[in-house]
Amino acid sequence: MIPNWMRSTDRYVPPRDGGTFAIRTIQSLGGVMSRLQVQRGQQQGRALPAFWKLLLLLVMLVAVSVLQNRLALMAVTALVLGTLSFWPAKRLWQTLKSALAAAGLTLLLLLPAMLLHPAGASNQLVIVWKVFLSLTMLNMFNRTTQWNEITTALRRLHVPGIFVFTLDLTLKYIVLLGTLICDLLSALQLRAVGRHERKYQSVGGVMGVTFLRSAELSRETYEAMVCRGFTDDYKGL
Amino acid sequence: MKLIELDKITFAYAPDEALVLREFSLSVGEGECVALLGDNGAGKTTLFRILNGLSFPQQGSYRFDGVEITAAYLKKQADQKRFHKRVGYLFQNPDVMLFNGTVYDEIAFGPRQMGLPNAELEARVGDCLDLFDLRPLAGKAPYHLSGGQKKQVALAAVLALNPEVLILDEPLAGLDRKTQEKLLRLLRELKAAGKTILIATHDPEVSSALADRSVVLEKE
């Protein structure tokens, strides 16, 4: 039998309530996490096996970071941009976008030093150049290699199985956890119909549930893998 | 005038993704109970998100009690809170609705914000606990409850706000027969009390036992 107050309509005028900053911040963070999809490698650039691509990437990253000779850096840049020039415009822009943004941010951070010590400005510009180059190469690798090929390549490079497993699960579940955070905060928002005195307690609750759920998800996945014959010898999923 | 009016709404999650709803229209009057039937992925949950102001259609309009519900309208805090007070939503997955330390706090979350006097708040939470026989679990953490218990706590938390409209996304899924019957009885009582109910279900028996009419959503 439902109580009497459920049979009538509440006369309710919501009071003013401020300070939703923490909730909005976490909501946008969850939104970003839920959109993080592990990139699916495209057909283009898949002629080279993932193992060799990964090896080449590591060598190139180390080379770019230690190279002092600008002519050699220019050669690497020409090689990278030359390869990219064969890509469709949309993918080219997607690949360069984040590298350009990171290079721009680096330039912004180094700007005061460049203004205070103009003599060293050219060296600092090399750092910006290296950031752009490294990220472009990483993006190229990411866009041409499927995630399961990367995990297999990591194992072939003798990276410990537990490391690959953790990395794999983290990337797979970060999207799920982002969605969970968004849903929890939506549910909170739908029931936050008045003055919310305990905002930080609720935010703590959301984060706590997310943490518990992530632990549960990884345990369940591990158990499911064991049931299907996984023996801690990680060969890539 | 109808309480809920959807006029030719079209929705896709991203511009380059397939449409989930195409020119969908629906009117629901006050006190009416409508069952939404359809295969998985037919757009029931998306429709419910739109009805709750969590997503907005790219085309068409959604009017609630004569007011068009848009992102701009819900940006105004008072309007948003008033709207959410009037429309209660039970998510398909109750896990995403439970974020408080105890079952009691979970149910008291909404009424506490309404600024109800302590005695009224306690009475309201107590009534909701009794409706679902949850008193023995009042001090427990919702996270550690079983799936069926979580669903009941989530519904109790929605009912504690005494909304005029109940939007229930598969409320009976995953429950044992006895609990399903108990919940159906409760929903019938709520309907008799004048609540407007929209219920998504895969079970034609549920729709025939409860709903005034059924709407079938088909996959795009």
pLDDT grade for B140, boundaries at 50, 70 and 90: very high
B217 with B34: CB under 8 angstroms?
A: no
Lowest mean pLDDT among A184-198, B47-61, B137-151: A184-198
Question: pLDDT tens, B72-101?
Answer: 998 888 888 899 999 999 999 999 999 999
| Separation in Å, CA of B154 to nearest CA in chain A | 10
The residue among B64, B79, B103, B113 with the most chain A CBs within 10 A of its CB, best to mutate, is: B113
Q: How far is B125 from chain A (nearest CA, A)?
A: 11
Q: Which residue has the higher pLDDT, A35 or A93?
A: A93
Query: What pLDDT is recorded for position A41?
Result: 46
Q: Using an 8 Å CB-CB cutoff, list chain A residues near B110.
A: 191, 193
Q: Which residues from chain A sit within 8 angstroms of residue B168, using beta carbons?
A: none
pTM for the full predicted model:
0.76
Q: What is the pLDDT of residue A195?
A: 77
- Largest Cα separation within chain B, whole Å, is 53
Domain boundary assignment for chain A:
17-36+158-227, 50-144
For residue B50, the model assigns a pLDDT of 95
Please answer yes or no on whether A193 and B114 come within 8 Å at the CB atom. Answer: yes
Q: CB distance from B101 to chain A under 8 Å? A: yes
B30 pLDDT above the threshold of 90: yes
* pLDDT tens-digit readout, A132-147: 999 999 999 988 888 7
CB contact under 8 A, B99 and A184: yes
| Alpha-carbon gap, residue A189 to A206, rounded angstroms | 12
Question: Do B113 and A205 count as a contact with CB atoms less than 8 A apart?
Answer: no
Residue of B nearest to A192 (CA): B110
Provide, as residue numbers in chain B, all residues whose Cβ is less than 8 Å from the Cβ of A212: 143
SS (H, E, C) chain B: CCCEEEEEEEECCCCCCCCCEEEEEEEECCCCEEEEEECCCCCHHHHHHHHCCCCCCCEEEEEECCEECCHHHHHCHHHHHHHHHHEEEECCCHHHHCCCCCHHHHHHHHHHHCCCCHHHHHHHHHHHHHHCCCHHHCCCCHHHCCHHHHHHHHHHHHHCCCCCEEEEECCCCCCCHHHHHHHHHHHHHHHHCCCEEEEECCCHHHHHHHCCEEEEECCC
A91-127 per-position pLDDT tens digit: 888 889 989 999 999 999 999 988 888 888 888 899 9
What fold is seen in the domain B4-217?
Rossmann fold (3.40.50)
Chain-chain contact of A186 with B113 (C-beta, under 8 angstroms): no
Residue spans of the domains in chain B: they are: 4-217
User: Which of A2, A189, A192 is opposite residue B193, by nearest beta carbon?
Assistant: A2
The predicted-structure confidence for B169-192, as pLDDT tens digits, reads as follows 999 988 899 999 999 999 999 999
Q: Does B127 touch chain A (CB under 8 A)?
A: yes
Min CA distance, A184 vs chain B (Å)?
Answer: 5
